[in-house]
């Protein structure tokens, strides 16, 4: 199993000038992407989108084919929007890298298991949907030694990460809130991409 923050750090070290779209645990302000990112102006947190962060990333990848787009998705988010796999595959943007942080549960709502937990394979689903490639990683060193190579492959690629659950079980209003919200981030990234 890989820790959420460690996975983010390895991806950040290899992101280059990619736009990074985050949702749920991957974008957690205490143990997720905001802690490690060095290029906030190209980060877009898409929270509370009921699984649509990957769809947002698809649109961005189609609009900017010359730039890598990385989506850090949740497993609960992906099962809410499984059709995104076929939609992404249909257009097959070669610049889209779809990471799934699979912790097996809805960590932000108290750790309830997602449907199909322990049975499903996002790697097989992505391959079956027609992604260019799909990988599973459950070891940090293995991920670290391969992620650079993966970013040199043509997408769309799904990279499924087995993540240690970090369950938040305190009322939402008592949790640390992200410093950037989706509304401000989309405007900032829009400006950054047009300059």
Partner 1 sequence: MEHGQVEAILHPQAIISELKKNNVTHVVWLPDSETNFMYQQLMEDPALELVPVSREGETMAIAAGLWVGGKRPVALIQNTGIFESGDSIRGLGLDVDQPLVMLVGYRGWDRHGITRDSAAKFTEHILHAWGISYYLVETDNDASRISLAMEEAERTCKPVAVLVGTEFGT
Residues of the shown chain interacting with partner 1 in the complex, contacts defined by CB under 8 A: 44, 46, 48-50, 52-53, 55-64, 81, 83-84, 86-87, 90-91, 182-183, 186-187, 189-190, 193-194
Strands 43-45 and 19-22: parallel
Q: Of 57 and 143, which CB lies nearer to partner 1 in the complex structure?
A: 57
User: Cβ 141 to partner 1, closest distance in Å?
Assistant: 33
CB atoms within 10 A of CB 159: 26
User: Cβ 60 to partner 1, closest distance in Å?
Assistant: 4
Task: Round to whole Å and give the CA distance between 112 and 90.
Answer: 32
Side-chain-facing half-sphere of 34: CA atoms under 13 Å: 18
User: Which alpha helices (DSSP H) does 44-139 contain, by range?
Assistant: 53-63, 75-80, 83-91, 122-129
Span between the terminal Cα atoms of the chain, in Å: 40
Q: Of 22 and 84, which CB lies nearer to partner 1 in the complex structure?
A: 84
Cβ–Cβ under 8 Å, residues 145 and 166:
no
Q: Of 169 and 195, which CB lies nearer to partner 1 in the complex structure?
A: 195
Residues 6+ apart with CB under 8 A from 21: 43, 44, 45, 46, 53, 54, 56, 57, 60, 69, 70, 71, 72
User: Cβ 41 to partner 1, closest distance in Å?
Assistant: 12
Cβ–Cβ under 8 Å, residues 79 and 116:
yes
User: Cβ 46 to partner 1, closest distance in Å?
Assistant: 7
Q: Of 114 and 185, which CB lies nearer to partner 1 in the complex structure?
A: 185
User: Cβ 81 to partner 1, closest distance in Å?
Assistant: 7
User: Cβ 29 to partner 1, closest distance in Å?
Assistant: 19
Torsion angle of the four alpha carbons 63, 123, 185, 31, in this order, in degrees rounded to the nearest 10: -160
Q: Of 129 and 144, which CB lies nearer to partner 1 in the complex structure?
A: 129
Q: Of 44 and 107, which CB lies nearer to partner 1 in the complex structure?
A: 44
């Amino acid at each position: 199993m890989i820790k959420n923050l460690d996975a983010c750090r390895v991806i950040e070290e290899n992101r280059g000038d990619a736009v990074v779209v985050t949702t749920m645990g991957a974008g957690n302000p205490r143990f997720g992407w905001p802690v490690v990112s060095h290029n906030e102006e190209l980060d877009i947190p898409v929270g509370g989108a009921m699984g649509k962060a990957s769809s947002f990333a698809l649109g961005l990848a189609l609009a900017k084919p010359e730039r890598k787009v990385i989506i850090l998705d949740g497993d609960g988010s992906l099962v809410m929007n499984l059709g995104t796999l076929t939609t992404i595959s249909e257009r097959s943007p070669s610049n889209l890298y779809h990471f799934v942080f699979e912790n097996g549960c809805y960590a932000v709502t108290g750790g309830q298991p997602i449907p199909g937990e322990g049975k499903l394979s996002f790697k097989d689903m992505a391959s079956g949907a027609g992604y260019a490639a799909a990988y599973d990683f459950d070891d940090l060193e293995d991920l670290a030694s391969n992620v650079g190579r993966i970013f040199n492959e043509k997408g769309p690629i799904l990279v499924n990460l087995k993540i240690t659950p970090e369950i938040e079980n305190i009322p939402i209003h008592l949790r640390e809130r992200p410093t950037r919200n989706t509304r401000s981030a989309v405007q900032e990234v829009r400006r950054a991409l047009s300059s």
